[in-house]
Chains A and B, each alone.
Chain A
Amino acid sequence: MLEYIAIIVSAIFVNNVVFAQFLGICPFLGVSSRLKDAVGMGMAVTVVMVIATLVTSLLQIGVLEPFGLGYMQTILFILVIAALVQMLEIIIKKIAPALYVALGVFLPLITTNCAVLGVAILVTQKGMNLGESLVYAFATAIGFTMALVIFAGIREQLELSNVARPMRGVPIALIVAGILAMAFMGFAGV
């Protein structure tokens, strides 16, 4: 039990996926100008990341390792994630139309979210078992959502402030992200 708690705290705070591992920066910068979008994106990433890690871990354990096909990992994982995202989109559209309206636009973007593929590869590199992998994926997604929501809140305020012209938009947002990353470094005890 204790090790699961360690994984959760480490993945959310100490090794935050955005601020410490630099994964999922594109959606972090792209979908963070409004708080509502940030929450939607975070939820979509959470759903996809947990299911994708489950499927890719099972494939790794059941197919790649027994047959010595480790070198096929990158191709197989990205195809599985792309197919999974498509399937999820269709399923959510059928089962929960309201949820689809909230998440729909974000789902296709997740295929190229490197955090999803990154977590799938990281758990195999770290040699985690299935339970640990799922906990790690979920905690990472929560960390991503948290980073996105905090950042979106700041960016909404940033819209109203007077920033020097070349710094407007992304540059000032990156510097804010840098300051946030500094705050998150505190969790690592630097």
Chain B
Amino acid sequence: MKFLKTIYNSAVVENPTFVLLLGMCPTLGTTSSAINGLSMGLATMLVLICSNCVISAIKNLVPDKVRIPVYIVVIATFVTLLQLLIQAYAPAIDESLGIFIPLIVVNCVLLGRAEAFASRHNVVDSMADGVGAGLGFTVALTLLGACREFLGTGSIATLQIFPESWGALLFVLAPGAFIMLGFLIAIYRSIKD
């Protein structure tokens, strides 16, 4: 029960994208379509779960003064593993996400969860937090990607809904990312109130 509650809290109440406003670069940079947003979200979630577990497991061994560099090394290790796996098994994803895969290292969501949660809780709770924050991040990115793709090209996840020529291409390009995210955060806030 507590496991589920932690997941809910990390995913909805403290949603990394809509509430904490962390990890904005991949949020804006990789959401030109729903599939791209989903794959970026899943990649981040995988690293987040692994790094949260490891950091929580070694938290008593690490001296307080060097904890941030140690966290960064742990995160960077998992990112490198993921980067090699994606390059080997899913080169198409590697191509569409490009530089944002190695940049998962500096995604503030990961370091933020490590510092705020994993360094104070046990492994199981930290895993729940990783799953929750990862899910919240993935859902936010997929939603943003789907909205941009729908308004820009008239399709969601390559499923055509209205003809492509009706779409406002602006939403697939850079300005659409900022504008759409602004509206989504505003909508999240007004639903929450």
Q: CB within 8 Å of B: which residues of A?
A: 19-26, 29, 71-75, 78-79, 82, 111-114, 117-118, 121-122, 125, 164-167, 170-175, 177-179, 181-182, 184-185, 190
- Closest CB in chain A relative to B172 CB, distance in Å: 12
Q: Which of B93-133 contact A (CB under 8 A)?
A: 99, 102-103, 105-108, 111
| Number of residues of chain B lying within 8 A (CB) of chain A | 43
Whether the pair A29, B76 counts as a contact (CB closer than 8 A) is no
Chain A interface mostly: helix
Q: Return the 8 tightest CB-CB contacts between A and B, nearest first.
A: A174-B182, A178-B178, A22-B29, A178-B179, A25-B24, A166-B190, A181-B175, A171-B186
Query: Could you name 22 residue pairs across A and B whose Cβ atoms are closer than 8 Å?
Result: A22-B25, A22-B28, A25-B28, A26-B22, A29-B24, A74-B80, A79-B72, A79-B76, A82-B69, A82-B72, A113-B106, A114-B103, A117-B105, A121-B99, A166-B187, A166-B193, A174-B178, A177-B178, A178-B177, A178-B179, A181-B174, A181-B178
- If over half of B's interface residues share one DSSP class (helix, strand or loop), that class is named, otherwise mixed; here it is helix
For residue A21, which residue of chain B has the nearest CB?
B29
Cβ of A74 and Cβ of B72 under 8 Å apart? Answer: no
Contacts of A122 in B (CB 8 A): 99
Interface residues in B64-107 by Cβ distance below 8 A to A read 68-69, 72-73, 76-77, 79-80, 83-84, 99, 102-103, 105-107
